[in-house]
Structure 1
Amino acid sequence: MDYAGSSSEEPSSWDDLYNINLIPSELFIKFRKEIETFRVGINLEFYNAEMNDYHAKLVLKPLSYERKWKLIYEPLQKDVRLLSKKIPITKFLNLQVGVGHSFQLNATGWKWKLTTCLGGDGVSRIRNKTTLGLCPGIDFRFGWRADYVLPEITGAVGTGDPLFNMNSGRLQASLDRIEGIFTV
């Protein structure tokens, strides 16, 4: 789908202007237990993207607000990682750094990642997580995304361009992830 601007062909109906997908491609079930100054978690992650996949993770991180790290162990993949918390660079840009070891490959390495809630071309995509507290100890988190092009009205006189031109905009939204979080 071309989001470049008003030069693209207009859709044949209003149904072509939006697409909302409510079938998530990721389902996470997280069990958390707070022990003294740490949170221990077991994450069961199910992916239904190009192929069905499953990950189990053990997570350890400090409970303090100033926490700087978390430790992740994936027993099925035989990987262990130490990740920094997301470090804000700007209002919308975060940096995360990690070091890990794969026991299966007998290799150690490090990675870094720049993330933002804005994606795509930096203007036309919003990615976010919304948390809904059902009752004490049970939360649901929804990861969603919206790609959009705002409506645009243009016009011209004496240039050969149309006097009035309207691009009605587009919206593609999806519910990408559902997380059930159970804190004991």
Structure 2
Amino acid sequence: MASNSNAFNEESASNEDVYNINLVPSELFLKFRKEMEGFRVGLNLEFYNFQGNEYQAKLVLKPLAADRKWKFMYEPIQGDIRLLSKKIRLNKYLNLQVGIGHNYHHNAIGWKWKLSTCLGGDGVSQIRNKTSIGLFPGFDLRFGWRAEYVLPEIHGAMGTGEPIFNMNCGRLNASLDRVEAIVTHST
């Protein structure tokens, strides 16, 4: 009987190595938006790392037009004022965003750029995405999630001392990283 329980524990440990799904988000955002005269004004309250109680507030102004080219952000706690371009699509998976800004705590002016993709890690081994659900008019939930994976692999050999048939089951690590509650008021 003891040997059966050891076999079961070994099997359980190997299953934990194969997949891991974390549904506790590390970021919680509350976004309040007001749409008026072709613009959206927003107040974002962002809470990070629940153990450390890190938070950030942002005021955001951007045009509502589908071809909008910019957004203005003010972060009073950090002392940053920024004008950011919209994400410019370079190809199917790669985006570029540029911005200029001023930090009044450090009395510094500068510019930043960022290349981003929904594919992360070492290529296609990681997917990051956001999924939105409209619960009712004016209230949406957005979930930021990530999945890192290694595809299963079957291989074998003959005459080399390796097994004729061998299989690696692959691996999946998935997590719910961010939950956003978005309240929008339109006039």
Letter matched to residue 165 of structure 1: N
Counterpart Cα distance in 2 of 1:79 and 1:15: 43
Task: Give per-residue Cα distances to partners, 1:72-105, cap 9 Å, x unaligned.
Answer: 0011222100000000001000000011100000
1:92 paired with 2:89, answer: no
Counterpart Cα distance in 2 of 1:123 and 1:39: 34
Higher helix share: 2
Counterpart Cα distance in 2 of 1:88 and 1:155: 42
Letter matched to residue 174 of structure 1: S
| Secondary structure at the counterpart of residue 13 of structure 1 | helix
Counterpart Cα distance in 2 of 1:135 and 1:75: 31
Larger Rg: 2
- Compute the TM-score of the two structures, normalised by the length of structure 2: 0.90
Counterpart Cα distance in 1 of 2:124 and 2:36: 42
Counterpart Cα distance in 2 of 1:133 and 1:93: 27
Task: Look up the match of 2:8.
Answer: none
1:164 paired with 2:154, answer: no
Runs of 4 or more above 4 Å deviation: none
Q: How does 1:97-116 map to 2 (within 5 A)?
A: 97-116=98-117
Q: Which moved more, 1:84-93 or 1:152-161?
A: 152-161
Number of equivalenced pairs: 175
Q: Percent identical across equivalent pairs?
A: 71
Task: Look up the match of 1:129.
Answer: 130
Q: Which runs of 5 or more structure 2 residues have no equivalent in the other structure?
A: 1-10
Q: Which runs of 5 or more structure 1 residues have no equivalent in the other structure?
A: 1-9
Q: Residues 89 and 11 from structure 1, CA distance in 2 versus in 1: closer, same or farther, beyond 3 angstroms?
A: farther
- Compute the TM-score of the two structures, normalised by the length of structure 1: 0.91
